[in-house]
A = this chain, B = another copy of it.
Amino acid sequence: MAHAHPDLTKNQALVFGKLSDASGPLTAYALLDNLRENGFRAPLQVYRALDKLVDYGLVHRLESLNAFVACRHKGCADHKTAAFAICETCGNVQEFSPDRAMEDLLRWTREQEFKLSRTTIELRGICRACSASQQA
C-alpha cells in the first residue's frame, strides 16, 4: 500500500488524506472546498500538492475527468502504467494493470523509436453493479 516517497508536507498530506478517504475521484476544486476548514484558501495550494503526489505515484490524474484518485492499486509501483475503468453511472473507478496491453504499446513505441514518458489508458462504460441494478 505504501509507495516509496519523501515525507509529505502538510498540504500534501491533507490532500492525500482527502483523496484516500474519498470513495471516488475528486476534482481539484472539490478538494479545495473540502479543505477550507483546514486553512486552504486558493486553488494553487491544491494543484501544487497534487503535482507532487502524482509525481510520487500516490495519486493518479484521470485525464478524461479532470479529476484525481488516490492509488489503490497494490502493485502499482511494480508497473509502468495503470489503467482505469470509469463507470459513467455511479462514478466508481477501478484501477488495474494492463500488462499485456502495455507490452503491445511498448512494441509499437520501439518500432517507431518513440521515447515514451507517460501513458494514459482510460475506459468509460458501465460497471457490473450498475448493469445488474439497471435490469431490475
Contacts and interface: CB of A to CB of B under 8 A. Distances in A.
Contacts of A88: 117
A124 B116 contact: yes
User: Taking chain A's interface residues, is the majority helix, strand, or loop, or is none over half, making it mixed?
Assistant: mixed
A108 B122 contact: no
Q: How large is the interface on A (under 10, 10 to 19, 20 to 34, 35 or more residues)?
A: 35 or more
A103 B98 CA distance: 11
A119 B124 contact: yes
A25 B3 CA distance: 36
Contact of A98 (B63, B104, B112): B104
A101 interface: yes
B119 A105 contact: no
Interface in A95-120: 96, 98-105, 107-109, 112-120
24 contacts: A64-B120, A85-B109, A85-B112, A94-B112, A96-B108, A100-B100, A100-B104, A104-B104, A105-B121, A109-B125, A113-B128, A113-B131, A114-B126, A115-B125, A115-B126, A115-B131, A116-B124, A117-B124, A119-B123, A119-B124, A120-B120, A120-B121, A120-B122, A121-B121
